[in-house]
Structure 1
Amino acid sequence: MNNINRNIFLAALMGISFGLFLKIYPLWSLNNAFLEANVIIGQLFINSLKMILVPLVFFSIVVGVSNLGNSKKSSTIWKYTLLYFFSTMFLAIFTALIIMNLVKPGIGITVDSWPEAKNAITSSLSIMEFLKQFILGLFVNPFQSLSSGNILPLIIFSILIGASFNGGGTKIQAGKKVFESLYEVIMRIVNWIMMFAPIGIFSLLVTMVESQSSELFSQLSIFIITVIGIMLIHGLLIIPTLLFIITKISPLSLWSNGRPAFISAFATSSSAATLPLTLSVACNTFKVPKSIANFVLPLGATINMDGTALYEAAAALFIANLVGIDLSLSQQIILFFIAMVASIGAPGIPSAGMVTMAMVLQVLGLPLEALALLLPMDRLLDTFRTTINVEGDLVGSLIVQKVTKL
């Protein structure tokens, strides 16, 4: 993970530097020839992401949902755990949308090298008409919908297939193993694409910087500060307040006793790598029963991604501002839903946010070239995202213990 993140970061620095060089010292015909080749390389990277996006979303959601039924814990723990996970993700995304609509970073700036946004989701309908069409549009032929760039029916279809694998006989479990094997195949292709990512990021950034005014980069710093501020509000105010209201555990107790897990999350940017420490803190320090901790925390490391969900919602609004689209209320409802689904389905690979962010942009009809702008800051923001994710998991185990009285 560190090598990929480092290579992407170095490629981003080189791409920005070389783009500035070409902007200040144009190389005439050589410059034009290089830029044309550069555009081809960048588009090849974007097209490879588009190629793998649909099968990755399909198989990752099928496998993820099918694995949710393997636990033998009681229905009471299930109910409160999922209620907590979705409630905190709701609060995270809602907070992100409110603050991003107030701050509005990127307004008035355009990125000349990006293609025109497709603005795939219409804003001309009333709220009731929109909700009617949206709900009916979820249950259509998923393969036909893909030809029009509508990925939401595929997500619903994936959830239904994954749910059908929960329980069942030998034949159904054999089918589940087929999907798990195909998921591993897709992940192998994703890893190949990730090896090409630094070159693709370099090419996209050279093209963008060479044709872009410096105003974009001042807006980028405003966006980074805004996102970190949203994460701090969620992690230092919303989650601790929820914990205190339900369990009477103070925020200071949470942060001091949970410090080993939080520091590990910040350093590794991996909820999965931090899981052993999180389990130790929950069971040994907070005395959460193993029957709860061993269920809530591994499940949370897979699907409870508050930090990821709020970041993807904020990033999508930022990109919409840059391409001059003012997302309506109905469009932001779509963004709300897809950010939650994308964060739940995030695969456990380095820079997984690139893949899930691509899904969010695709649904909204926004240019995937925006990934070149988001990836250089991804390592910094990922440390905050993961810390928020781990804090949410730990708090979830404490709240579930309290409400189930186990």
Structure 2
Amino acid sequence: MKLSLNLQILIAALLGVAGGWAVHGWPADSAAVQWSLYSANLIGTLFIDLLKMVMIPLVFCAIVTGIANLRQHSQMNAVWKTTLLFFATTTIIAIVIGLGATHIVQPGAGLHLDMFADAMQQFESKQLTLPEFFTQFLHSIFMNPFKALADGNIIAIVAFALVLGIALVMAADRYTQLLGLFEEGMTVCMQIINWIMRLAPFGIAALLFKLVATQDVGLFATLSKFILLVMGTTLLHGLVVLPALLYLLTGKRPLWFLRNAREALLTAFATSSSNATMPVTMRCTTQNMQVKPEIAGFVVPLGATVNMDGTALYEASAALFVAQLAGIDLSLGQQLVVCFTTMIAAMGAPGIPSAGMVTMVMVLQSVGLPAEAIAILLPVDRLLDTVRTAVNVEGDMIGSLVVQHVTASNSSS
């Protein structure tokens, strides 16, 4: 009996984790470990590179055709409003969960910044004020589209595709051939993704093998309380809050969603990249969940750029954790500043080197916390990134389902 792709990916993920755990205790310089890590890195990198290869043309064609085709249903305004409202709501909920749980659990209690003095001294943070961040952010949005395509600058590609899609809408039926070209381009990209997904079990197993085999268990013990808190709250948001919103707003059952979203969630967990996972997210959303291509083509790429529930929760919790390490009690006003800055930072800043670290530094600096303390988080960031990326991708898919349901209800009424 031939196993389904979903089951193949799940089995591969479990084998990758088990293999990495088995190799973890072996001498790092042994030939067997070196060869296995090299092989895993080769296979995992190949899988990610194949996804990235198709990601840029897929995003561009999906947004252009999504915007242009929405005009036929008179849904453009409803899609815009519903998408942005849903993304903003879930991000705020995630930040509140992160701050609230960190207040209650106090993961920084008993630890001190002195314990991490060496790491902090070796870390050099790029200082970036909020006005500088906005300047860099806007500069990264509006740029030469060909340079953006060549550099893989997702947010700039999204911006230009939005403008081009709106231009096709305003032109009515004058450029039907151009629109048809983009529609055929999206169809071809989806076919290529179906081919790439045949390699997904091998790629995901290799990525998880490397992740587990190379992690520092000793550091995890020191920061275990913070790690468990972030993972627990992120899973709470991903397994309870988002599915509950899906059920309340659309009537879709959480188990139905998880069954159809499994490929994308496991790929996001293994790659820790919303952008690299985007082709798989589009595949699950349009083929498995039957979301209209014009809806998914707008919501998913936009969500992969600006909708980062897991990242927002993590950065808010991390800021409070650092404050506890430093023995600083943040006032209510300072925590509101953290909320606002985290929402901005979670949108990401393509074009800035080490964008994730820079935005985390910005959150810390917004309330006067030591930016160098981010060095404490760097060693465990890769592990935490797996779960929060999966939740980020989950939010994009649920957003697509919610937007389709709400706009369909509005149009029928």
User: TM-score with structure 1 length normalisation?
Assistant: 0.59
| Mapped contact 2:136–2:349 kept (Cα < 8 A) | no
| Mapped contact 1:93–1:336 kept (Cα < 8 A) | yes
Q: Structure 1 pair 94/184, CA: closer, same or farther in 2 (3 Å)?
A: farther
1:296 corresponds to: 299
Unaligned runs of 5+ residues in structure 2 are 1-62, 71-75, 121-126, 154-217
| Mapped contact 2:304–2:393 kept (Cα < 8 A) | yes
> Does 1:98 pair with 2:64?
no
Q: Matched residues in 2 for 1:347 and 1:254: separation?
A: 30
> Does 1:328 pair with 2:331?
yes
1:326 aligns to what SS in structure 2? coil
1:366 corresponds to: 369
Q: Structure 1 pair 182/243, CA: closer, same or farther in 2 (3 Å)?
A: closer
Q: Structure 1 pair 273/150, CA: closer, same or farther in 2 (3 Å)?
A: closer
Q: Structure 1 pair 251/336, CA: closer, same or farther in 2 (3 Å)?
A: same
Once the two structures are superposed, the pairs formed by residues 126-205 of structure 1 within 5 Å of their partners are 151-155=129-133, 176-177=142-143
| Mapped contact 1:150–1:363 kept (Cα < 8 A) | no
Q: Matched residues in 1 for 2:264 and 2:337: separation?
A: 33
Q: Structure 1 pair 345/272, CA: closer, same or farther in 2 (3 Å)?
A: same
1:111 corresponds to: 113
| Mapped contact 1:258–1:281 kept (Cα < 8 A) | yes
1:258 aligns to what SS in structure 2? helix
> Does 1:279 pair with 2:245?
no
**RMSD value over aligned CA atoms?**
3.4
| Mapped contact 1:309–1:343 kept (Cα < 8 A) | yes
Q: Structure 1 pair 219/282, CA: closer, same or farther in 2 (3 Å)?
A: same
Q: Structure 1 pair 71/364, CA: closer, same or farther in 2 (3 Å)?
A: farther
> Does 1:224 pair with 2:227?
yes
> Does 1:261 pair with 2:264?
yes
Percent same amino acid at aligned positions?
49
Letter in 2 for 1:152: L
Query: Per-residue deviation at 1:152?
Result: 3.1
Q: Matched residues in 1 for 2:363 and 2:145: separation?
A: 23
Q: Matched residues in 2 for 1:398 and 1:71: separation?
A: 17
1:382 corresponds to: 385
Letter in 1 for 2:92: F
Letter in 2 for 1:330: G
| Mapped contact 2:220–2:380 kept (Cα < 8 A) | no
Q: Matched residues in 2 for 1:258 and 1:350: separation?
A: 31
2:399 corresponds to: 396
2:317 aligns to what SS in structure 1? helix
Q: Over residues 278-332 of structure 1, what are the superposed CA-to-partner deviations in whole Å (9 max), with x where a residue is unaligned?
A: 1111111111001100000011111100000100001111111111111111000
1:75 corresponds to: 77
1:342 corresponds to: 345
| Mapped contact 1:109–1:216 kept (Cα < 8 A) | no
1:85 corresponds to: 87
| Mapped contact 1:108–1:321 kept (Cα < 8 A) | no
Letter in 2 for 1:233: L
Unaligned runs of 5+ residues in structure 1 are 1-66, 118-148, 166-175, 188-214
| Mapped contact 1:106–1:216 kept (Cα < 8 A) | no
Query: Per-residue deviation at 1:219?
Result: 5.5
Q: Over residues 45-104 of structure 1, what are the superposed CA-to-partner deviations in whole Å (9 max), with x where a residue is unaligned?
A: xxxxxxxxxxxxxxxxxxxxxx99x95551221111011111100110011111010011
| Mapped contact 1:305–1:344 kept (Cα < 8 A) | yes
| Mapped contact 2:136–2:352 kept (Cα < 8 A) | no
User: TM-score with structure 2 length normalisation?
Assistant: 0.58
Q: Over residues 329-386 of structure 1, what are the superposed CA-to-partner deviations in whole Å (9 max), with x where a residue is unaligned?
A: 1000000011111010243899642222122122222222212210110111010011
Letter in 1 for 2:371: L
Q: Matched residues in 2 for 1:339 and 1:108: separation?
A: 26
Q: Matched residues in 1 for 2:148 and 2:300: separation?
A: 27
Q: Matched residues in 2 for 1:250 and 1:387: separation?
A: 19
| Mapped contact 2:67–2:294 kept (Cα < 8 A) | no
